[in-house]
Amino acid sequence: MTAANRSRLLALLEIAEKEGRHLLGTGQRLATEAIDGAWVQALEQRNR
């Protein structure tokens, strides 16, 4: 593995770790919600 490839791999691993932390946090927040059709409708309205 070249030095450039190693640097790229390390950078990608850091990004994957960061995104994994974000996904865990999102999962934890969603676990506290009562998700139903009304919740989804409200979410769609908020994002317009």
| pLDDT score of 3 | 93
pLDDT in tens, 1-48: 899 999 999 999 999 999 999 999 999 999 999 999 999 999 888 877
Q: Which letter, b or e, does each residue of 1-30 get, where b requires 16 or more Cβ atoms within 10 Å of its Cβ? A: eeeeeeeeeeeeeeeeeeeeeeeeeeeeee
| pLDDT score of 33 | 93
| pLDDT score of 44 | 87
Q: Supply the pTM of this predicted model.
A: 0.66
